[in-house]
Amino acid sequence: MTDTTKDRVVIFDTTLRDGEQSPGATMTHDEKLEIAELLDDMGVDIIEAGFPIASEGDFVAVSQIAQRSKNSVICGLARAQLPDIDRCWEAVKHAAQPRIHTFIGTSPLHRAIPNLTQDEMADRIHETVSHARNLCDNVQWSPMDATRTEWDYLARVCEIAIKAGATTINIPDTVGYTAPRESADLIRRLIAEVPGGTDVVWATHCHNDLGMATANSLAAVEAGARQIECTINGLGERAGNTALEEVVMALKVRGDIMPFDTGIDTRKIMHISRRVATVSGFAVQFNKAIVGKNAFAHESGIHQDGMLKNAETFEIMRPEDVGLAGTSLPLGKHSGRAALRAKLRDLGVDVGDNQLKDIFVRFKELADRKKEVFDEDILALVTAATEDAADRLQIVSLRVICGTGGPAEAVLEMEVDGKELSATCEGDGPVDATFKAIRAVHPNMAKLQLYQVNAVTEGTDAQATVSVRLEEDGMIATGQSANTDTVVASAKAYVNALNRLLVRRDKAGPGADAREVSYKDVS
């Protein structure tokens, strides 16, 4: 199954599992369902939907994703423990194409955690993989920290997993330690020397601690791996995982030296990248390959001159290939609803009549404040329109007084559970004063972990997108909002995060710890 004459590379997306392990990147239930639907629609072969035993919320999300999937294989993660595997199967069994992914740490450092000898761990691998295969005919097994596992032992446990019924063997570079040549050599040797190695799919799972995740993954493919594990925007703990958009576009653009195909509709990359950035609160860096704001921008005079004469002089792929409009034609205050709907379709966004009505109202309000409304502005409006109108906390009005003459002052009116309350507070700047006013109206102990401002477009009238991450009693929530007034955007983002904390506390019940357990030591 790993013969190099077979040119299909399977894309295994773990944004909803490994990607969500980024501190503060926790998604709501509805956001997980939305991202899973987008992944399914863009042609991802396998979606690792979560870690079912981690929490009841994770179990329900994986189960519902499994039931809703149209095309993708739906996979759940399980440690090498029978209860984990049973719980995983309960979550994915309703999928048209279910998969169980079980793992155990095999390097000396990871073997020391459960205090198992090599023989004891080998026995557990045989037992748990066999158990998973009795439940599901699609079983993936991973030796966590494989790249730091002794060769003889790694070959031994891979053989055991294959004999026990694993159909995919994933080789994780859990700490981003390996280099491309090593990645290729390891896969090539495993295929050649492990009994049964030519009868299974070999996968690569790389972290980006040394900035080589994409290179390591592609090197593994050239050596015979036929599944790449990756995330949208390279989301993941520490420095992140292999970025889906990078490996997919590298294979597409450099098919001359890497003759491998994927089933990804690359025109949908930008839309899902933006949605993942929004729901996770992790903005994409401007110079990020493929999906960064500057990925198709040319400022140098020489570059601009070349682009005008022939785009291929400085672009190795077309913006349209990843879902960017060839030209960003702005709308204005005289544009109608039909033009807005057409623009949304061009941007890959389909909305119903009621949602379009709401977005159109926001669009007109923005167009009155801005000369031109660009694509990025419209996408920010779509995000704002999805905010829940039933939020317990809502801003009614905000007035801020600031300058060089003294401390800033914020005058705030809010609705809290339908009751209007107000507060006036001073602070070290307008945002500080505003946040203090919000805490005065709605007292809370939430700690501000992140406050981030990004301009949606260029110019002094640009919308600011603000991300706020709060932590309270172990719960983490991220809020985001966009507005041409940075202070208003900040206030709305802060309140949005508070509303999410309230929802999680309500779901957890009195006195409960609402955290979804994160197993930070997984592949």
What does the pLDDT read at residue 523? Answer: 43
What does the pLDDT read at residue 518? Answer: 36
Is 207 annotated as ligand-binding?
yes
Residue whose entry in the numeric block shows the structure tokens 């077309």: 318
pLDDT in tens, 36-84: 999 999 999 999 999 999 989 899 999 999 999 999 999 999 999 999 9
Region 458-487 average pLDDT = 85
What does the pLDDT read at residue 297? Answer: 67
Determine contact, residues 184/221, Cβ cutoff 8 Å: no
Residue 117 reports pLDDT greater than 80: yes
Task: Please report, for the chain, how many H helices and E strands are present, in that order.
Answer: 16, 14
Q: How far apart are CA 216 and CA 61, in angstroms?
A: 31
In this prediction, residue 460 has a pLDDT band, given cuts at 50, 70 and 90, of confident
Strand positions, DSSP E, 279-407: 393-401
Please list, in sequence order, all residues whose beta carbon lies within 8 angstroms of the beta carbon of residue 36, skipping any fewer than 6 positions away.
Answer: 16, 47, 49, 65, 68, 69
What does the pLDDT read at residue 507? Answer: 66
What does the pLDDT read at residue 174? Answer: 96
Is 334 annotated as ligand-binding?
no
Region 276-294 average pLDDT = 87
pLDDT in tens, 376-415: 778 777 776 665 556 899 999 999 999 887 899 999 999 9
pLDDT in tens, 428-443: 999 999 999 999 999 9
DSSP string, 143-158: EETGGGS-HHHHHHHH
pLDDT in tens, 412-427: 999 999 899 999 999 9
Please list, in sequence order, all residues whose beta carbon lies within 8 angstroms of the beta carbon of residue 398, skipping any fewer than 6 positions away.
Answer: 410, 411, 412, 413, 434, 487, 488, 491
**pLDDT winner (highest mean) among 167-181, 344-358, 454-468:** 167-181
Largest CA distance in the chain: 77
Residue 172 reports pLDDT greater than 50: yes
Q: Among 153-162, 312-321, 443-452, whose mean pLDDT is lowest?
A: 312-321
Q: How far apart are CA 263 and CA 226, in angstroms?
A: 13
Residue whose entry in the numeric block shows the structure tokens 């389909």: 350
Region 11-33 average pLDDT = 85
Name the residue among 127, 51, 31, 142 with its Cα closest to residue 92. Answer: 51
| 465 Cα distance to chain centroid | 18
In this prediction, residue 314 has a pLDDT band, given cuts at 50, 70 and 90, of very low
Is 18 annotated as ligand-binding?
yes
Determine contact, residues 326/319, Cβ cutoff 8 Å: yes
Is 241 annotated as ligand-binding?
yes
Q: How far apart are CA 65 and CA 55, in angstroms?
A: 16
Q: How far apart are CA 41 and CA 305, in angstroms?
A: 38
In this prediction, residue 326 has a pLDDT band, given cuts at 50, 70 and 90, of low
Cross-strand bridge partners of residue 78 = 102
What does the pLDDT read at residue 387? Answer: 55
For residues 347-365, b (16+ Cβ closer than 10 Å) or e, as one string?
Answer: bbbebeeeebebbbebbee
| 480 membership: H or E segment, kind and range | strand 475-483
Per-residue CA distances from 519 to 55, 279, 515 (Å): 11, 21, 12
Q: Which residue has the higher pLDDT, 19 or 180?
A: 180
Region 173-185 average pLDDT = 97
What does the pLDDT read at residue 378? Answer: 82
Per-residue CA distances from 370 to 327, 375, 376, 457, 487 (Å): 19, 13, 13, 11, 17
Q: How far apart are CA 186 and CA 136, in angstroms?
A: 28
In this prediction, residue 520 has a pLDDT band, given cuts at 50, 70 and 90, of very low
**Strands 393-401 and 419-427, sheet pairing:** unpaired
